[in-house]
Amino acid sequence: MRRGVRLIPLALAAGLVLEVAVFLLIAHQIGYGWALLLVLAASLAGMALLRREGMRAWRSFRAAAQSGRPPGEQVSDGLLGLVAGVLLATPGLVSGVFGGVLAVPQVRRVVRRRVQVAAERRMSSAAAGEMFGPRRVRVYPPPPSAADRPSAGSADGSGSAQQAAAAGPTIEGEIVDPPR
């Protein structure tokens, strides 16, 4: 069993303690009735967000699948919308704040990109291409190295340069997202 899986019950217990502590602090400041009303309002907003995001995610996934586009972006955006709704619907002020922040489109765009990069690292490049579409690659010419210059040890200057040329040049590059 992975170490992270063992820590899930501990993290859930710590989250519960944090939620209760924050609720008591807020309730002490604004009153228990208002704090309870705030938690209830956040939960209702989360349920509405769950319904809206679930339907929107399903429609965008179907549209991408029918048009032949890779559905990865729609899937990850839909999942993040659902996570935001679940966090808001969960009774608690801390989870409500995280859900509210994740419901903001600019924040979700940043988180979606990080989730996409993490998912791409865990799957093969072929599966990532099927899920998220092709990637553009920016290629840089290799910098001149000592192997490209004539060596002082050989009479004709072709020592290691010939060996490097026979192996082929090394090309460095980076993968960049296509412009949106």
What string of pLDDT tens digits covers the 180 residues of the chain? 567 778 888 988 999 999 999 999 999 999 999 999 999 998 998 898 888 888 888 888 788 778 877 777 777 788 888 888 889 888 888 999 999 899 888 998 899 888 888 877 787 777 777 777 766 666 667 666 655 555 554 444 444 544 544 456 666 666 666 555
Position 73 in a domain = yes
Task: HSE, CB side, 13 Å, CA atoms: give it for residue 87.
Answer: 18
Position 9 in a domain = no
Buried b (16+ CB within 10 A) or exposed e, 12-51: eeeeeeebeebbeebbeeeeeeebeebbeebbebbeebbe
Position 179 in a domain = no
Position 92 in a domain = yes
Position 103 in a domain = yes
Position 20 in a domain = no
- Which structural domain, as residue segments, surrounds residue 122? 40-133
Position 31 in a domain = no
Asked whether 169 and 142 are in contact (CB, 8 A), the reply is yes
> How far apart, in whole angstroms, are the C-alpha atoms of residue 138 and residue 150?
29
Position 23 in a domain = no
- Count how many domains the chain has: 1
Q: Which of 87, 93, 105, 12 is closest to 50 using CA atoms? A: 87
